[in-house]
Structure formats: C-alpha cells, structure tokens
Amino acid sequence: MSNPTSPTLAAVVAEPVEKGNSLWHDAWLRLRKNKLAVFGMVTIAVVTVACVAGPWMASYGYEQQDLMNTFAPPNAQHWLGTDQLGRDLLVRLLFGGRVSLGVGLAATFVALTIGVTYGAVSGFFGGKLDALMMRTVDIIYSLPFAIFVILLMVFFGRNIVLLFVAIGAVEWLTMARIVRSQVMAVKKMEFIEAARAIGFGRRRIIFRHILPNILGPIIVYTALTIPGVMMLESFLSFLGLGVQPPMSSWGVLIKDGAEKMEEYHWLLVYPAALFSLTLLSLNFVGDGLRDALDVRSSKD
C-alpha cells in the first residue's frame, strides 16, 4: 500500500515543510506574479463593478430615448455619445455588460454542471458505459453546433433562457472529456482504494474524494470557457439572434455600431474596445490559472 512513488506522497515530500504552504497558496502566489493575469483580474473586477453599479448611478435608463439628441458625439452629458434614438451609449454599454457577463457566467455554470457530472460518471465507471458515453460525445462533437444553435434561436423565438441552454449544450462536451481523463487518472490512486476499503459508496467517492482532487483542471477550463461562451452569445446577438432590443448586450451594440460606423464611429469603437478588453482579460486570467495550477505546463 505504501508506494513511495505515489504522487500525493511525492508532492508532500517535494513541499518545503517549513513554509507549510498548501498547493492552493502556492498557486495563488504564482498567479500573483503573473503580470498579465493580475492585469486581467483587476480589469475584470473594475468592469464587473462598473456594469453592476453603473446603471444605478447613471441619470439615464438603458432604454430611455431622447429624440432631440440623436447621434450625439461623446460630450459632457453623454460621455460616450448617443445612438439613433438618443439613448446614452455608456449606460447601454454597462447594462449590456450585465447581460453579456451574466450569460457568460450562467451558461458556463450549465456547461460545468453537465460536463463534470457526465465526465465523472463516464471516467469512474469505465468499461462499456464509458465507451457508450464517450462515443455519444464524439458524435455530438462532430455535429455542426453553430448551425444548430442558429436554427434553435431562429425557430424557437429569441428568449434568453433558451440562449443559456443552447450555449451550455455546446460547451459541456470539452469539459466532459477533460473531467473523464482526469477521473481515470485519479481513480487508480491509493487513497481511492482506501476509501473503497473503508466501504464508502460510489457517489461519496466521486464527489468527496475524486472531484476535489481534480479541481485544478476544472477551474482552469471553466475560466477559459467563460470568454468562449461570451463570444458565442455576442456572435448570436450580432447575427440578430440573441438578445433583443431594447435590451442591450455587447454583441447587440457591436452589431448596431457596425451598421452605423460610417458616420458615427463611436457607436462601434467603444463597445468593441470594452468587449475586446474584457475577453482579453478573461483569457489572461484563464492562462494564468493554467500556469499556476497545472503542474505539467508550469514546468515548461
């Protein structure tokens, strides 16, 4: 039973005892040293706070029109100008951020839940069940999903709940594959054998013993899924299939801006800049987390 090459043991031995740092603490220190990741975290925090708090503090509503004041360039009353109905771009941008970030988080949560459960079951039980479940994933993977999402949105009206479901349904596949391979690696370790020997049930072993040990990859992949989901949401909104006016999302604003950019460039430039900045930041944080948590790539 006491195998000296066991990874858990090796990790304990390699850890300088006097520091007493946990793996998580080390990861946090590594993350903090990564300038791009810190930049990303700060930016995301600022953007989130602005999007949540901004619309409350603003003197305009996101759908409040001012037809005497359409297409105003950025000025003292409207810091980022107004659109074709005289709506304040800054307020619409911040409000749209709520929608975009909200969809990003909610759809990622859907993908996370389905993907982790599916992958864990498939990897833990193995054998024929695993083969069947993974073949299913392979087949779904090979379907042209962007097309299906577009069809779903066109045919079943454009409601936001469906948007979550459609995006979540696309994004869980990769998560399931990652979790499965991780579970298969962890379930062979001795502490799982020990848990079985004590007589714990399968459910308890999966959720209490295996999943906490593969939290690293799950967190990293979740972080990298959020920008992907936000891109998909705005892609659909850009095609006119996602969030509908008078609501706004970053995709909607970019679409509107692109239509009017010839004369009113600010309508495109500011939404595009904020959206790009947020996506870049999310990716920086995701990459930073991967380097900080994933032992394999941090060696590289």
Partner 1 sequence: MLRFITSRLLQSLLALFLVITATFFMIRFVPGGPFTAEKAVTPEILRNLEAHYGLDKPLWRQYLDYLGSLARGDLGPSFKYPNRTVNEIIADKVPVSAELGGLALGFALVLGVGLGTVAAVRRNTWMDYTASTIGMFGISIPTFVVGPLLVLGFAIHLGWFNASGWYGPLDRVLPAFVLGLAYAAPISRLTRGGMLEVLHQDFIRTARAKGASEFRVVTRHALRGGLLPVVSFLGPAVAGILTGSFVIETIFQIPGIGREFVNSAFNRDYTLVLGTVILYAGLIMTLNLVVDIIQAWMNPKVRLEG
Q: Quick one: which segment of 88-96, 106-114, 189-197, 256-264 binds partner 1 (CB under 8 A)?
A: 256-264
- Residue 149 CB, shortest distance to partner 1, in Å, is 10
Count of alpha carbons within 13 Å of 248, Cβ hemisphere only? 26
- 279 in Cβ contact with 43 (< 8 Å): no
Residue 30 CA: distances (Å) to CA of 57, 62, 105, 140, 222: 37, 41, 25, 37, 19
- Residue 102 CB, shortest distance to partner 1, in Å, is 18
Q: Using CA atoms, how far apart are residues 187 and 210, in angstroms rounded to an integer?
A: 7
Q: Using CA atoms, how far apart are residues 93 and 50, in angstroms rounded to an integer?
A: 10
Q: Using CA atoms, how far apart are residues 218 and 212, in angstroms rounded to an integer?
A: 10
Binding to partner 1 by residue 275, rule CB under 8 A?
Answer: yes
CB nearer to partner 1: pick between 18 and 262: 262
Contacts for 203 with CB less than 8 Å, ≥ 6 apart: none
- Residue 282 CB, shortest distance to partner 1, in Å, is 8
**Residue among 113, 114, 80 nearest 97 (CA):** 80
Contact pick of 17, 57, 67, 147 for partner 1 (by CB under 8 A): 147
The three-class DSSP label of residue 52 is helix
Please state whether the peptide bond connecting residue 246 to the residue before it is cis, i.e. omega within 30 degrees of 0.
yes
CB nearer to partner 1: pick between 109 and 148: 148
Query: According to CB under 8 A, which residues from 117 to 136 bind partner 1?
Result: 135
- 249 in Cβ contact with 94 (< 8 Å): no
Q: Using CA atoms, how far apart are residues 218 and 291, in angstroms rounded to an integer?
A: 14
Binding to partner 1 by residue 182, rule CB under 8 A?
Answer: no
Q: Hey, how many other C-beta atoms are within 10 angstroms of the C-beta on 293? A: 23
Q: Quick one: which segment of 20-28, 177-185, 212-220, 251-259 binds partner 1 (CB under 8 A)?
A: 251-259
Binding to partner 1 by residue 284, rule CB under 8 A?
Answer: yes
Contact pick of 38, 58, 189, 258 for partner 1 (by CB under 8 A): 258
Binding to partner 1 by residue 57, rule CB under 8 A?
Answer: no
Binding to partner 1 by residue 295, rule CB under 8 A?
Answer: no
Q: Quick one: which segment of 25-33, 99-107, 108-116, 264-272 binds partner 1 (CB under 8 A)?
A: 264-272
Binding to partner 1 by residue 248, rule CB under 8 A?
Answer: no
Q: Hey, how many other C-beta atoms are within 10 angstroms of the C-beta on 49? A: 10
Binding to partner 1 by residue 268, rule CB under 8 A?
Answer: yes
Residue 98 CA: distances (Å) to CA of 170, 204, 246, 251, 282: 22, 37, 14, 12, 15
Binding to partner 1 by residue 185, rule CB under 8 A?
Answer: no
Contact pick of 226, 254, 289, 293 for partner 1 (by CB under 8 A): 254
Binding letters toward partner 1, positions 16-55, x by CB under 8 A: ----------------------------------------
**Residue among 278, 277, 232, 274 nearest 253 (CA):** 274
Which residues of this chain interact with partner 1, rule CB under 8 A?
135, 138-139, 142-144, 146-148, 150-152, 154-156, 227, 231, 234-235, 238-239, 251, 254-255, 257-258, 261-262, 265, 268-269, 272, 275-276, 279-280, 282-284, 287, 300
